[in-house]
Chains A and B, each alone.
Chain A
Amino acid sequence: MIPELGHFALILALLVAIAQGVLPMIGAQRRDAALMAIARPAAHAQFLLVAFAFGCLAWSFATADFSVELVAQHANSQLPLHYRLAATWGSHEGSLLLWVLMLTGWATAVSLRSRNLPAALLARVLAVMGLVSVGFLLFLLFTSNPFLRLIPAAPEGRDLNPLLQDPGMVIHPPMLYMGYVGFSVAFAFSIAALLGGKLDATWARWSRPWTTAAWSFLSIGIALGSWWAYYELGWGGWWFWDPVENASFMPWLIGTALLHSLAVTEKRGTFKSWTVLLAIIAFSLSLLGTFLVRSGVLTSVHAFATDPTRGVFILVFLAIVIGGSLTLYAVRAGAVGGGAGFAPVSRESLLLANNVLLVVACASVLLGTLYPLFLDALNLGKISVGPPYFDAVFVPLMAPLVFLMGVGPVASWRRAELPDLWTRLRWALAVAVVTSLLLPFALGRWSPLIAFGLFLALWVIAATAALVIQRLRQSPQPGLFAKLAANSAAWYGMILAHLGIAVFIIGVTLVKGYEIEQNLTMTPGQTVRVGDYDFTFRGVTPVNGPNYSGFAGAIEMRRDGKLREVLRPEKRIYNASGMPMTEAAIDTGFFGDRYVSLGEPVSEKGHEGAWVMRVYIKPFVDWIWGGCLLMALGGFIAMTDRRYRLKVKDRIAAMAGAAA
């Protein structure tokens, strides 16, 4: 009964979505207030219906209702309750339902925080989101219905992929989808602006916090995915340039460009059509990611079970949504008009350089990801494009971008003077150069790449510090606290996000430069020295989990003879699927991780009880994700800026007050 209710709610949601997508749009065109007014309640109703459907699916998982095919395929009675609930979005169908839930959630949020929006703009924004939702609901209902029954019911279910039975995987998809789907708001604002023909600084101000929110969630989502891969896959890597990773990284790159371009549009009323195009592309890339992950056109470590009809459906959907928006863009963007001029050296020109670099970087990732597909489609053979390619192409594109990051925030709008920039930044540059040349010696080994990576990070930190110090010095307020309070939340958010990049670069540089990896065969009692640590293998003991069994190793880790930690990596076999899993044991520290994962037992004579294992020393590896969290935090802080919360009324009152 519950699944049928969920199914029914989805059908109702589709009908509401159609109403939400069509009627307010007509209303906005005809200036019919009654039709426009449908948008808001429709968005709420749709959200409630989808939330209800999602709740029904979660209920089916929680109660282990194996008469629902999806539940029988992705959960079993041994699976702990929290993973059964997480299994709700562990499958293609369930994750798509989560997608729609988030989409309707974002639409509801927009409708609730939009009292200051012009009625026609709000109607169009919600209508666009409704139309996107129509596509996804059709997709769900016709190709990926999560509520299909299994008759007769299975006595026992299969299993959630053991790789996904992990806390990181429980929150990674929701965060990632919050990001992907969040870009639909910026997208809807762009389409609405193109339709309405009103594209100005106010428009940018409205869509900016939404974009920042989506970008922050996406940053967290990507970081969580990377962190999960690091500790769960058992071979110590944190980024593989896998198509699925690239699919999430491309919208992030364009989203980052969009954030900066929106800043120019808001502050200076310029780059308008470019900003709109970026907003369209950011969401298009989110949709493209969905296609790549679910259609089976590319091989990936973590693709969903694929099905050609689904691929065809999403591709048609993509063609309609993206093709339609880009056509609208081609027709309407010409009328937008240029905007103000600026000097070749100015905040604007630097932000434009930022945009060029980010877009080229994204295009390169797209090219590398799809190149095997291009060649195959042209019958030119099969090739693989992997990390060596992306590293070779991506780093040279990012280095100038990071360098500009130090300069941009210091440069003034409209016109900046090079001598002035030089005076303001020369100390930062000197500090960064000297420190990065010397620091690698202190860390143990000098190499040009390490020094260069450190230079970029230290340059960002030093230049940002110079910016903060100068800003505080010039501030007319008396007292440090007043000086600090005089700056906007958006400004602090920017500072924090930029520092996040620096922290991230430090992590990447040091872990790539100084990591140690050893493949070892260890017999019980044996001690091996890796880096500064002595690892003593104490054998394995059997372990039995709720739905798996296996072995846990005990490895004592000593430094200077003192016991620091007993690491217990596990090798599990999951009962339902028979899938083997490696659970690495990680000793996490501020300055790096010690990481041990179990390989296979050795069967050769004379080595009874011996195991193959991998031991890694990963200096500063957690800074990689720490940096991402700082970026996201910066985004969330920027969002709280009061100027996004002011109502039009207040604004007018304020202007009147200022004029009086």
Chain B
Amino acid sequence: MKRYLFSAALATLLAFAAGVLAQSNPALDARLKKLEEELRCLVCQNQSLADSSAPLAEDLRREVRALADQGKNDAQIKEYLVARYGDFVLYNPPVKAITWLLWFGPFVLLAGGGVIWALVLRRRARRGYDDDDLPPDPRAVDAGVEKARELLDDPRA
């Protein structure tokens, strides 16, 4: 599967490597660049349309530009591509039932983490933090050890 896609991509890369003369319209360029960064090149391993030099990516970039020239907005352009290639082309997956876990999962985890944090703090605070049955402060031990070591290392001592 991979190999033939790759060889096909390679074979055409050279055959169809023709530069497209970019019309100068910085605002449009910037908008398309941003849009193309959110679109996946289908034949590549894992690259955006903006980054890929595969022939299909070039075709799709041309198509995107043509659609933009027709006055289509970003959402309409995405819709056009999704109708043909599915949600796979979107690096920014749409929020819908099957992606709720993806989009809200991290924040649910964060909330859960926050709750756990608060619970641990409460439990630890109840355990008391002013009593003396603590292990010796390692810093104090270190200071003692280093002092002793200096004394041992020092022939004059």
* Contact between B93 and A650, CB atoms less than 8 A apart: no
Q: Does A41 contact B (CB under 8 A)?
A: no
**Known contacts A301-B46, A580-B14, A602-B21; is A383 also within 8 Å of B87 by CB?**
yes
Instruction: Report the nearest B residue to A415, measured CB to CB.
Output: B129
The complex places the Cα of A301 from the Cα of B46 at a distance, in Å, of 5
Partner of A266, one of B93, B128, B138: B138
Q: Does B59 contact A (CB under 8 A)?
A: no
* Contact between A340 and B87, CB atoms less than 8 A apart: no
Q: Chain B nearest CB: distance from A352 CB in Å? A: 6
B residues near A600, Cβ cutoff 8 Å: 17-19, 53
Partner of B145, one of A233, A371, A646: A646
Number of residues from A at the complex interface, CB < 8 A: 81
**Known contacts A384-B40, A386-B91, A604-B21; is A299 also within 8 Å of B46 by CB?**
yes
The complex places the Cα of A270 from the Cα of B18 at a distance, in Å, of 64
* Contact between A579 and B10, CB atoms less than 8 A apart: yes
Interface residues on B, range: 35 or more
* Contact between B144 and A342, CB atoms less than 8 A apart: no
Q: Which of A43-51, A361-369, A545-553 contacts B (4 or more CB under 8 A)?
A: A361-369
Q: Chain A nearest CB: distance from B148 CB in Å? A: 3
Q: Does B69 contact A (CB under 8 A)?
A: no
Query: B12-48: contact bitstring with A at CB < 8 Å (1 yes, 0 no)?
Result: 0110011111100000010001000110100011111
Instruction: Report the nearest A residue to B128, measured CB to CB.
Output: A341
Q: Does B84 contact A (CB under 8 A)?
A: no
The complex places the Cα of A72 from the Cα of B124 at a distance, in Å, of 62
Q: Chain A nearest CB: distance from B2 CB in Å? A: 8
Q: Chain A nearest CB: distance from B111 CB in Å? A: 9
Partner of A655, one of B50, B93, B144: B144
Partner of B135, one of A201, A353, A579: A201
Interface residues of B (CB under 8 A from A): 10, 13-14, 17-22, 29, 33, 37-38, 40, 44-48, 50-51, 53, 86-93, 98-99, 101-103, 105-106, 109-110, 113-114, 116-117, 120-122, 124-130, 134-135, 137-139, 141-142, 144-149, 151-152
Interface residues of A (CB under 8 A from B): 201, 205, 233, 235, 237, 240, 242-243, 266-270, 299-303, 338, 340-344, 346, 348-349, 352-353, 356-357, 359-360, 363-364, 367-368, 371, 375, 380-389, 393, 397, 414-415, 488, 517, 519-521, 578-580, 599-604, 607, 610-612, 642-643, 646, 650-651, 653-655, 657-658
Q: A266-B138, A600-B19 are in contact. List 15 more A-B contacts (CB 8 A).
A: A268-B135, A300-B45, A302-B45, A340-B129, A357-B113, A360-B106, A360-B109, A384-B90, A384-B91, A521-B21, A599-B53, A602-B19, A604-B19, A643-B145, A650-B149
